[in-house]
Amino acid sequence: MPEDSKTDLIRDIRILLNYHKSMGIDSYPRTKGLERFLKKKKQPAAPSPSARKYTSPKQVKPVAQTREKHVFDPGLAKKATLADVRQELGDCTRCGLHKSRTNIVFGQGDEKAKLLIIGPAPGAEDDRGASPFLGAGGDLLTKMLAAIGLSREDVYLTSLVKCLPAGGRPPREEEVRTCLPFLFRQLEIICPRVICAMGKQPAQTLLHSKESLFRLRGRFYDFNSFCSTELAEQMLIIPTLHPTFLLDNEEMKKASWQDLQMIQKKI
Ligand code: SF4
Task: Give me the pLDDT at residue 48, please.
Answer: 40
Closest CA to 189 of 87, 116, 107, 80: 80
16 pLDDT tier (thresholds 50, 70, 90): low
Lowest mean pLDDT among 57-71, 74-88, 129-143, 157-171: 57-71
d(CA 120, CA 155): 17
| Residue 69 resides in a domain | no
Contacts of 258 (CB under 8 A, 6+ apart): 218
Percent of the chain with pLDDT over 70: 71
d(CA 242, CA 20): 12
pLDDT tens-digit readout, 230-263: 665 678 999 999 999 999 888 888 899 999 999 9
* pLDDT reading at 60 higher than 70: no
Q: How far is the CA of 263 from the centre of ligand 1 (A)?
A: 29
224: domain CATH number? 3.40.470.10
Closest CA to 150 of 179, 110, 187, 180: 110
d(CA 82, CA 87): 9
Mean pLDDT confidence for 104-121: 97
Q: Which H/E stretch holds residue 27?
A: none
Q: How far is the CA of 102 from the centre of ligand 1 (A)?
A: 12
| Residue 70 resides in a domain | no
Residue count (the chain): 267
**In the chain, how many domains are there?**
1
Phi-psi region of 203 (alpha: psi -120 to 50; beta: other; left: phi over 0): alpha
Is residue 203 a contact partner of residue 26, using CB atoms and an 8 Å limit? no
Strand ranges (DSSP E) for 37-140?
A: 70-71, 108-109, 115-119
* pLDDT reading at 27 higher than 70: no
10 pLDDT tier (thresholds 50, 70, 90): confident
* pLDDT reading at 187 higher than 50: yes
Task: Give me the pLDDT at residue 192, please.
Answer: 93
Nearest CA to ligand 1 atom 2: 179
Considering the entire predicted model, what is its pTM? Answer: 0.76
d(CA 52, CA 59): 14
Ligand 1-lining residues (CB < 6 angstroms): 89, 92-95, 97-98, 104, 161-163, 175, 178-179
Lowest mean pLDDT among 19-23, 103-107, 210-214, 232-236: 19-23
Domain containing 221 equals 77-266
Among 88, 103, 160, 179, which is best to mutate for testing ligand 1, by the most ligand atoms less than 8 A from CB? 179
Cα distances (Å, whole numbers) of residue 230 to 34, 45, 70, 118, 238: 45, 52, 12, 22, 19
| Residue 46 resides in a domain | no
93 pLDDT tier (thresholds 50, 70, 90): very high
DSSP character for 30?
-
Task: Give me the pLDDT at residue 150, please.
Answer: 95
| Residue 152 resides in a domain | yes
71 pLDDT tier (thresholds 50, 70, 90): confident
Q: How far is the CA of 177 from the centre of ligand 1 (A)?
A: 10
Mean pLDDT confidence for 192-221: 94
Task: Give me the pLDDT at residue 221, please.
Answer: 93
| Residue 44 resides in a domain | no
Q: How far is CA 45 from the centre of its chain?
A: 34
Task: Give me the pLDDT at residue 11, please.
Answer: 61
| Residue 72 resides in a domain | no
| Residue 17 resides in a domain | no
Question: Given the CA of residue 95, which atom of ligand 1 is nearest to it?
Answer: 4
- Give the Cα-Cα-Cα angle 193, 85, 139 (nearest 5 degrees): 60
Task: Give me the pLDDT at residue 143, please.
Answer: 94
Is residue 63 a contact partner of residue 203, using CB atoms and an 8 Å limit? no
Contacts of 252 (CB under 8 A, 6+ apart): 241, 245, 246
Mean pLDDT confidence for 184-195: 92
| Residue 1 resides in a domain | no
Q: How far is the CA of 173 from the centre of ligand 1 (A)?
A: 12
